[in-house]
Amino acid sequence: MKIKSLIIDDDPFIKSLLGDMITMNFPFVEILDTAKSGREGIEKIKIHQPDLIFLDVEMTDMTGFEMLSQYENPSFQTIFITSYNHYVLKALRMNALDYLIKPIKFEDLQQAISSCISKLGQKKNSETIKATLTNLEGLILNILPKEIAKEIENDGSATPKYYDLVTVFFADIKGFSQHAERLNPVELLEELNYYYSAFDLIMEKYGVEKIKTIGDAYMAAAGVPTHNMTNPYDALKAALAILEFIEKTTVLREQQGKQPFEFRIGIHSGPVVAGIVGLKKFAYDIWGDTVNIASRMEENGTIGKINISKSTYDLLKENSEFSFTPRGKIHAKGKGMLEMFYVER
């Protein structure tokens, strides 16, 4: 580890002597520059961003104490240089790392630099720990919703919660098996990542929680983990934005001579239970018949269309932003006859 340093002293002899002592005996201390006054020192600190400064107390334009007092939380360590012992106490009160009495003795310089190494090592460890914790927090928030992560942090677990109204979104790729045969595994995953990364950003924009991908299917829910009454609207706005993205990507892929993915989208609103289960590889999920019916909406939809249930339709039919086409009752696997509606744009 190289320690980047500055020498700030108005005595050329001291600057030269100290520089030679450091260069000859401490190769891991790099002298970036010197300054002959406090004001010049301030400018050199801005330029070089040193780890350590050797700062003379008795300078003509301003004292070393006056210069250091301009930094509320300096990013560098300070070793004061002084001719007088009575300045030592004040130097330490200003959180100086150490002080050197003129004429400078080698053993005093060695001790001061050893203190600097120790201090910088502690700072580096602290920064490493802080960066690691920040990265871990970011990783956790990519796996779990913020509210759930906070609950686990505070309580050690997250209690499953019942929601009386949540809107569940499903999107699925038509003929995914054929795409899997046509593309090599890397190309297939890159294409899936392209689409679903865009879906993630759109869901985040409209406050919809991505739940998971199941093979080639994408599942999200509005109204969890934070309950709200706008979730049917939020989910449909997100679905329309996703449909627009799919259409633009279809044009782009055709221009590139590639075969685009085609999607069916289904939406249903109703009650769910949400939470995490198990002891390992935590994943936030939702359960209930609402999830099954949303999946059936997708299965019974049409490419390039958003198929919604009567439950979602009833919650949005008075909203002038949307128009709907009734499809009547359609048989859904395991659910019998269900009333369905297409969303028109």
333 part of the active site: yes
Radius of gyration of the chain (CA): 33
Among candidate residues 296, 327, 335, 345, the one labeled active-site is: 296
Among candidate residues 123, 130, 182, 333, the one labeled active-site is: 333
Where in 67-204 does DSSP place strands (E)?
Answer: 77-82, 98-101, 161-173
Helix (H/G/I), strand (E/B), else coil: 297: helix
Rounded Cα distance between 261 and 310, Å, is 28
Q: What is the DSSP string of 89-119?
A: HHHHHTT-SEEEESSPPHHHHHHHHHHHHHH
Query: Which two tokens mark 281?
Result: 């590889």
Kindly tell me the sign of the dihedral angle through the C-alpha atoms of 293, 142, 175, 345. positive
Report whether the peptide linkage leading into residue 12 is cis, meaning its omega lies within 30 degrees of zero.
no
Rounded Cα distance between 57 and 64, Å, is 4
> Which residues are known catalytic residues?
296, 333
